[in-house]
Structure 1
Amino acid sequence: MSVAVLFATTFATTAKAECDPSFVDGDNTIRLIPPPSFSSDQLNETFQVRIRNAGDEPCLLRLGVGRRIADGSQQFPTYSLTGPDGNVPLSSLSGAPDTGSFGTEFVAPPGEQVVIAYEIRMDVGWGSEAGIFTEDLVFQLFDDRPGHPPIIRDARLMLEIPKMALIRFAGVSGIDGPALIEMGAISPHSVTQSPPFALRILSTSGYRMELVSDNGGALRRVNGPDLIPYELSLRGQRLELDGTSDGIEVNRHTSSLGDVHPVTVIIQPNPEYHAGDYSDRVFITVTAM
């Protein structure tokens, strides 16, 4: 007798995933940090955008970037953005583009990540105003396959310019030590006036200037008790150097050249002054407000 046996089996198959691109999660804030004390006027900051292909097939993609003008600070400083293909013309992109005809084209291998690097260049130095400035960028990942809308990711540029001030002198001597003002010989019969000199103040915000001297506005004879009072004027305004003056306030930040404040020192004549060498030390404090 013949017996026919039928063998049947089922093969389990896994659906094959095509190209499956996405942005890799990460910090969406790009922090721009100026050089300390504006040692350089150029701020360069690099950042990366990571793309993942979780599929089993390569992806032909294009990454574009625009900026959301309405979402960012209108006072955000001018900058340039450089990508793999060179300069990114952000000035022509008033918002998020809706086409894949721009940007950087690349292939994302299956199961791997692709890193796209960008660099921001900005002139930030004295003349900049203190504050926190933001602007929003929009990255769009375009797939060349029909029926696949772009994948969007936002990133925020954040620039923080601190409040700080710097003092410089014009018309004074002294290089390594304190600035030195030479009054010369004091006349017993006519007013003695200092040679022209000035303070140059650089500040990213409004600022206050305060001046205090060791002797409260008097020259003291070296190795002696004798004092010769003098008058110090800043921008034509006489200041008390004994700590009782309110100082002078300027309610705005300076330009890149700074504010120049002429200083005048006057000694009234007195024939009873004793001969000798006299000096006083003045401490100048500038506080960014």
Structure 2
Amino acid sequence: MRPFTLLAAGALLASTPALANDCSPEFVNSTETVNVASIEIGVGSFARENFNIRVRNDGNGQCSATIRFTRLGGSAAPGSPSYTLRSGPTTLEILGEGSTPTIDSDLLIPNAPGGTQGRAVPFQLTLPSEWGMRSGLYSEQIELALLDPSGTEVDTMLLTINVRIPQAVAIRVVGATGTNDLTRINLGNLSSTAATRSDPFGVRVWSTSGYLVSFASENNGQLAHEGNLDQIDYELYFDGQNVNLAGGDSFLFADFTPSLGRVHPLRARVGPVTARAGHYEDRVTITVTAV
């Protein structure tokens, strides 16, 4: 009876590692890099990037696992673009280092298969790309921890997310009649005894970087008679500064704009004048360039 008893104990000890090896989840790769580029900036715009993380079972039975997401370095750096991370219908929470896990920070992977490639777990990164962001390259690293069914961490991998915000600009005229591309300022009847001023108007600029606002006058800073029979000098003020329309002028702004843009006031002034009767006009092209 004793040899039989010892043999049974030995059989139980030998079977324990085999049961443990039934489920040994692991990542197929140790690193993954996601590059979010070709981003269009504008109201209501967003960028999406799809990628996969492969998980496999190194054991020989059915195996489930859980992926937990932790941002290395704590919270996102100030000014970094915000984004959401999803897998199927699940929106995932990315923990800060040392934070308590939540139901949204853990993603269950049922039935991880064996084989060298395992299962491709799909993810989608969605990044709102509206105005208010600064151009440049933003990079952060997220540690993915793989937990076995008992909740024990058995593997980790490093996910690097690179986001490149491009230089982009937009300009709109405000406080004047017309379209976004062509606006008309009507000074009315000019006076020979007093200066004539336009109603206040301006341009609203959106930019993800510093920008240059340039002016070009078709008539070099003069209002030309409809029959090209006379000319009248006039002045244009931008942000309270007199614009040199005769030689072209430009104004540099070193920083990006907030989400609502930045409004630069404009005003035109003429006279007093003594000139031939008729209609006078000039066309001024305002260009904004990212720098």
The verdict on a shared fold, with TM-score over 0.5 as the criterion, is yes
Q: Is the 8 A contact 2:215 2:248 kept in 1?
A: no
**Per-residue CA shift, 1:2-55, capped at 9, x if unaligned?**
xxxxxxxxxxxxxx9855544334972212347423252444433321213355
1:127 aligned to 2:132? Answer: yes
**Per-residue CA shift, 1:132-187, capped at 9, x if unaligned?**
111111112223479x8521111111111111211111122222751111121212
Alignment map for 1:168-179 (pairs within 5 Å): 168-175=172-179, 178-179=182-183
Cα 1:164/1:134, change in 2 over 3 Å = same
Q: Give the superposition deviation at 1:95.
A: 2.5
Q: Which amino acid aligns with 1:264?
A: R
Measure, in 1, the Cα distance between the counterparts of 2:264 and 2:225: 29
Q: Which amino acid aligns with 2:290?
A: A
Equivalent residue, structure 2, for 1:4 = none
Cα 1:160/1:177, change in 2 over 3 Å = closer
1:267 aligned to 2:274? Answer: no
Q: Give the superposition deviation at 1:74.
A: 4.7
1:115 aligned to 2:120? Answer: yes
Q: Which amino acid aligns with 2:175?
A: G
Q: Is the 8 A contact 2:83 2:125 kept in 1?
A: yes
Q: Is the 8 A contact 1:231 1:266 kept in 2?
A: yes
Equivalent residue, structure 1, for 2:278 = 276
1:60 aligned to 2:64? Answer: yes
5+ residue gaps, structure 2: 1-17
Measure, in 1, the Cα distance between the counterparts of 2:30 and 2:231: 67
Q: Give the superposition deviation at 1:253.
A: 1.2
1:69 aligned to 2:73? Answer: yes
Indicate which of 145, 151, 157 corresponds to 2:155. Answer: 151
| Structure richer in helix, relative to its length | 2
Q: Is the 8 A contact 2:26 2:155 kept in 1?
A: yes
5+ residue gaps, structure 1: 1-15
Alignment map for 1:12-27 (pairs within 5 Å): 18-19=22-23, 21-25=25-29
Measure, in 1, the Cα distance between the counterparts of 2:98 and 2:27: 17
Q: Give the superposition deviation at 1:209.
A: 1.1
Measure, in 1, the Cα distance between the counterparts of 2:40 and 2:128: 14
Measure, in 1, the Cα distance between the counterparts of 2:78 and 2:181: 44
TM-score, normalised to structure 1's length? Answer: 0.80
| Identity level (%) | 29
Measure, in 2, the Cα distance between the counterparts of 1:55 and 1:250: 61
Alignment map for 1:70-85 (pairs within 5 Å): 73-83=77-87
Measure, in 1, the Cα distance between the counterparts of 2:289 and 2:181: 21
Of 222-231 and 19-28, deviating more is 19-28
Q: Is the 8 A contact 2:74 2:96 kept in 1?
A: no
Q: Which amino acid aligns with 1:89?
A: E
Q: Give the superposition deviation at 1:118.
A: 2.7
1:229 aligned to 2:233? Answer: yes
Measured on the aligned residues, the alpha-carbon RMSD in Å equals: 3.0
1:88 aligned to 2:110? Answer: no
Measure, in 2, the Cα distance between the counterparts of 1:239 and 1:136: 48
Q: Which amino acid aligns with 2:54?
A: R
Q: Which amino acid aligns with 2:282?
A: D
Equivalent residue, structure 2, for 1:258 = 261
Q: Give the superposition deviation at 1:71.
A: 10
SS of the residue corresponding to residue 46 of structure 1 reads: strand
